[in-house]
Every structure is written in structure tokens, then in C-alpha cells.
Amino acid sequence: MAAPSGKTDVFQAIADPTRRQLLSMLGEREMPVTVISGHFPMSRTAVSKHLRILADAGLVKERKIGRETRYRLEPEPLLELKRWLAYYERYWDNKLLALQRFVEGDETDGTISLVASEEDGTRSAE
Amino acid sequence: MAAPSGKTDVFQAIADPTRRQLLSMLGEREMPVTVISGHFPMSRTAVSKHLRILADAGLVKERKIGRETRYRLEPEPLLELKRWLAYYERYWDNKLLALQRFVEGDETDGTISLVASEEDGTRSAE
DNA sequence: TTGACATGAAACCTTTTGGTTTCATATAAT
DNA sequence: ATTATATGAAACCAAAAGGTTTCATGTCAA
């Protein structure tokens, strides 16, 4: 499960479904490893390794209390994801996209005409 | 690079930096494989496989024109990511979070008192 | 002080990933 | 008709990922 190396990328960190579940679970409340791993079908050690990866990505913070280590969500690194995603917002209100495809459609064999996207039934010139 | 199997998860798809770069490149304009791969330090075949993964995730659409295949961005699946991320917005304007940590911070002696989760009834107050 | 918890580190194993090279096929160009 | 281009499929490979089991260490409870 990834060398315990430092600094994992946030995209990488959230790629795994188990880790996403961990995040949502730790968002609710801070929890020690044993309790956390009780919710998963894998060994405690495996969960522990996932937690390390999340920690390396800064998505989770640990805090020792007596003999147990509690983990909690640290949402800040998700902002990077948010920023990345923000770039693509421009494609959702798809005026730009429609225009772009119109232009591209032009320099081909003509088979493609500008069929607009699903939610824009208005405009399907032919 | 993943068996050419069907249906790749979008989180998985964007985990790879090369694939993220592909997305941004194909957002600009539709392009054939050879041109695309010219921008990457790896073989054309490798790029082609990345494109297949993106296509499996629905993030990219292909269209054959003569002997070439052109790829373009299909942003729609990113909405899943957006929705996922939206859940964590609540942690950024962190009133809730602050309160939660205050309560948790109270039981630093290791005795878990009242904070019992839905499913871990096992460890309730004593 | 002895024993039971909680946890991480190590070593190990199997499957997936990201990449390569070689080959086959379809279309274009001469 | 023949050759060149564009691309995907196959077979192969090394490294990373996701797990497991075993062991060591630190802390709490009797």
C-alpha cells in the first residue's frame, strides 16, 4: 500500500474507495484506529496503512491519547481538488463548448454538424 | 495501465497526472492520438492506453475521421467529483467543526463519554 | 510487576499500473 | 498496386498498491 514515503498526492489519496470512506467517517468524529477498522472488512493493519497515506496527503491528522492514536479529518487539502475542478466549470455552462465544437466540426468532412448537448435542446441546426 | 476493462471510476481516472494533463489538453481542442502523444515523454501506445482509461470513465469521447481518431474532453463525469467534494464544503466554513472539536477536546483523558456513533454501540458510556 | 490493549514496523505475497516493443489492420497517398 | 500513416491489440515487464501475518513497543489495568 504505497511506500510509507512522505507526501502523497491528494488525487492519489482519494482514488481509493476505502480511503474515501475513511474520510467521510473521520469527518463525523475523531476516532482511534481500532474503532475505525471495525467498520472495514480488512485487517487493522491495512486500515492503518490507508490512514498513513491520508496523513501523508495531509487529509487526516493524528493525535495520541494514552495508548491510542485518534485520527480526524483535515479537509484543507481538498481545496486543491476544488481548484482543479473549478477549471472545468467553464465547460458545464457550455456556450464556449458549443462554439468550440462548431468550429472544429467545420474542418472535417462535414458529417458532424453541431448537435448541441443534452440540456440544450433548443439549438440543433443542420 | 488497467486492463482495458469497462467502466473505470472517475476518481481512479484522474488520479494519474498524465491523465489530468490529457484532460486539460483535450479541453482546449479535439485532437488525434499522434498529435496528443507528441506532447508526452512516453510512447504513443502508452498515451493511447491512458486515453482508453479516460474513455472508460466517460471523461473523453472519441470520433473517427478517416484513419485518425480524435479525442475530446467530456466533462460531465466530473460532476460526480463535484458532488463528492460538495459534501466537504461544510468543513470549510467551520463553525460545525469548531464545535465538534471543542466537545472532543474535552475528553482528552482517553475516556470516551457521550459521543457514540450510529453503529458502534459497543463502546458506550460506562 | 505482570498481563492485556493499541498501534506501527517488517517481511512477504498477489494483483494492478504504467510502460515498452512488436504486430495487425484500416485508410490515404503515389 | 504499393507504400506510408494512424491506431489499437498483444505479450511482456518492473514497480507500486493493497493486503496479510508476525513481531516489537508503549501504555493501561490488576
| Residues A90, A87: Cα–Cα separation, whole Å | 6
Burial grade of B101 (CB within 10 A; 0-12, 13-18, 19 or more) = middle
| Residues B101, A55: Cα–Cα separation, whole Å | 18
In a domain, B19, yes or no: yes
A7: left (phi over 0), alpha (psi -120 to 50) or beta: left
Per the structure, the residues numbered 14 to 73 in protein chain B that have their CB within 7 angstroms of any atom of strand D are 32-35, 44-45, 48, 51-52, 62, 67-70
Note the pLDDT of residue A102.
Answer: 58
CA dihedral B114, B120, B121, B126 (to 10 degrees): -40
Chain B residues touching chain A at CB-CB below 8 Å = 9, 11-12, 14-15, 17, 20, 23-24, 27, 29-30, 63, 65-66, 72-73, 75, 78-79, 81-82, 84-85, 87-88, 91-92, 100-101, 104, 108-110, 115, 117, 119-120, 122-123
Tens of pLDDT, residue by residue over B81-107, are: 999 999 999 887 666 666 655 555 444
In a domain, A25, yes or no: yes
Point out which residues pair with B64 in neighbouring strands.
Answer: B69
What total of structural domains would you count in chain A? 1
In a domain, B109, yes or no: no
Digit-by-digit pLDDT tens for chain A (126 residues) are 644 445 789 999 999 999 999 999 999 899 999 999 999 999 999 999 999 999 999 999 999 999 999 999 999 999 999 999 999 998 876 656 666 555 554 444 333 333 333 333 223 332
Q: Which residues on chain B are in Cβ contact (under 8 Å) with A101?
A: 30, 72
Tens of pLDDT, residue by residue over B32-78, are: 999 999 999 999 999 999 999 999 999 999 999 999 999 999 999 99
Three-state SS at B5: coil
Note the pLDDT of residue B28.
Answer: 87
CA of B99 to C1' of D29 (A): 33
DSSP letters along A14-71, please? Answer: TTSHHHHHHHHHHHH--EEHHHHHTTSSS-HHHHHHHHHHHHHTTSEEEEEETTEEEE
Note the pLDDT of residue B102.
Answer: 59
In a domain, B113, yes or no: no
CATH code for the domain in which residue B43 is found: 1.10.10.10
Residues spanned by the domain of A18: 10-75
